[in-house]
Structure 1
Amino acid sequence: MTFDGRPDRDAEVVLVGRSNVGKSTLMRELTGHDFTTGKKPGVTRQPNHYDWAPESFMFTDLPGFGFMSGVEEDRREAIKTDVVRYVEENAEHVLAGVLVVDGKSAVDIIDRHTNDEEIPHDVELFSFLQDVDVPPVVAVNKMDKVEDRDARLNELCERLGLYPPWQQWDHIVAPVTAKRGSIEPLREILRERFREAKRDDLLKFVS
């Protein structure tokens, strides 16, 4: 069953990523609107849209994918398929695809799932955004829990095919701590994306 009920908007920023990485909390910081969040993975099962009709723009928090306790594998795969299909079908309207990862665990999770037969979800999705011409942004969340900040960000960039040091990718990689409202690096990247799309009218949403 695919997602339905997408508002008819010309411009969109989508948030994608594994379950329990803080997408909904990040969405709350971007919009000022409180969405259902929880420690139990998989709380978000349908897209959460927050839109502004006059500007024909919205932020969309897509359901998390990957392992979810108590959720069967076929259901997890169906969610991932729906997420991919949603981005693909609406790519022409998406000004940025924000891949949200957990700064503390992302590298370990990627390494755990890397083998000859499997591409880790995070790496796969980052490449997918590029393939469908959706400008990718990596919001590295929960950075308050990361001690070796630069080393960890360098490792993550390397896994995503971005040659370290991570600072040269600061137009793509945004270290944030959504729970504390510390998301200015992400806002700056989105401001640049909006300018590139000649949508200065949207800058007020990331000011």
Structure 2
Amino acid sequence: MFDSRPDRDAEVVFVGRSNVGKSTLMRQLTGHQFSTGGKPGVTRRPNHYDWAPESFVLTDLPGFGFMEGVPEERRERIKTDIVRYLETHADDILVGVLVVDGKSVVDIIDRHAERGEIPHDVELFHFLEELGIPPVVAVNKMDKVDDRDERLNELCERLGLLPPWQQWRDTIAPISAKRGNVDALTDAVRTHLHEAKRDDLLKFF
């Protein structure tokens, strides 16, 4: 299920909890209709969008975390598959986009931390760094957040980044995918592609 990746030497991956709007974001970026459902956990396998003749692929990995009606064993397997995918293709992945829900991410992180668990979002952020994949956090649904700067500063703190968030524009990207407002994300991704000396891929963002 996870071995359907096209043979490409450059990749940008999108990871995140279920229902944070990854499929909507992918649609905005590619103009391509991704299957998305009303209930979490609909995307169960990677969605790859590749451009010929360029050796480049955008990958939407399945949502992780709590999914109603999905057994815990299955949820854990998805998470393991995601980790393995990232490890396997780390050398080819130029950017890892971690999509979070701006309205709820801080509360979710705190809830897990209070239970003595490492929150998935924080774990994944640092895991991308460990693999040498530049992480960009796409903080989605920001149109629903009132205390925008405060919320983004709190997220930075949870991720171990020193606020204010504005100094992390290549890492923290406030967006609203549904409204088509994704410039902060494309700017951040373009920065990392440029640093990777892959200006040939900038046209895709």
For the aligned pair, the TM-score class normalised by the smaller chain equals over 0.9
Is the Cα–Cα contact under 8 Å of residues 143 and 177 in structure 1 kept in the other structure?
Answer: yes
Name 1:53's counterpart in structure 2: 52
Secondary structure of the residue that 1:104 maps to in structure 2? coil
Give the letter for the 1:183 counterpart: V
Secondary structure of the residue that 1:85 maps to in structure 2? helix
Deviates more, 1:30-39 or 1:99-108: 30-39
Is the Cα–Cα contact under 8 Å of residues 170 and 189 in structure 2 kept in the other structure?
Answer: no
Residue 204 of structure 1 pairs with residue 188 of structure 2: no
1:53 shift after superposition: 2.5
Residue 189 of structure 1 pairs with residue 202 of structure 2: no
Is the Cα–Cα contact under 8 Å of residues 47 and 60 in structure 1 kept in the other structure?
Answer: yes
Secondary structure of the residue that 1:114 maps to in structure 2? helix
For residues 96-175 of structure 1, the aligned pairs below 5 Å read 96-115=95-114, 117-175=116-174
Secondary structure of the residue that 2:113 maps to in structure 1? coil
Is the Cα–Cα contact under 8 Å of residues 98 and 139 in structure 1 kept in the other structure?
Answer: yes
Distance in 2 (alpha carbons) for counterparts of 1:181 and 1:199: 25
Name 2:31's counterpart in structure 1: 32
TM-score, length basis structure 2: 0.98
Name 2:15's counterpart in structure 1: 16
1:39 shift after superposition: 2.5
Q: Deviations over 1:48-89 (max 9, x none)?
A: 000013110011000000000000000000000000110110
1:116 shift after superposition: 6.7
Distance in 1 (alpha carbons) for counterparts of 2:6 and 2:52: 9
RMSD: 1.0
1:117 shift after superposition: 3.9
Distance in 2 (alpha carbons) for counterparts of 1:4 and 1:33: 21
Residue 178 of structure 1 pairs with residue 172 of structure 2: no
Deviates more, 1:69-78 or 1:22-31: 22-31
Distance in 2 (alpha carbons) for counterparts of 1:140 and 1:116: 24
Is the Cα–Cα contact under 8 Å of residues 25 and 177 in structure 2 kept in the other structure?
Answer: yes
Identity fraction in percent: 73
TM-score, length basis structure 1: 0.97
1:176 shift after superposition: 0.3
Structure 2 unaligned runs (5+)?
A: none
Secondary structure of the residue that 1:20 maps to in structure 2? coil
Secondary structure of the residue that 1:113 maps to in structure 2? helix
Give the letter for the 1:131 counterpart: E
Is the Cα–Cα contact under 8 Å of residues 9 and 53 in structure 1 kept in the other structure?
Answer: no
Secondary structure of the residue that 2:150 maps to in structure 1? helix
Name 1:93's counterpart in structure 2: 92
Q: How many residues align?
A: 205
Give the letter for the 2:13 counterpart: V
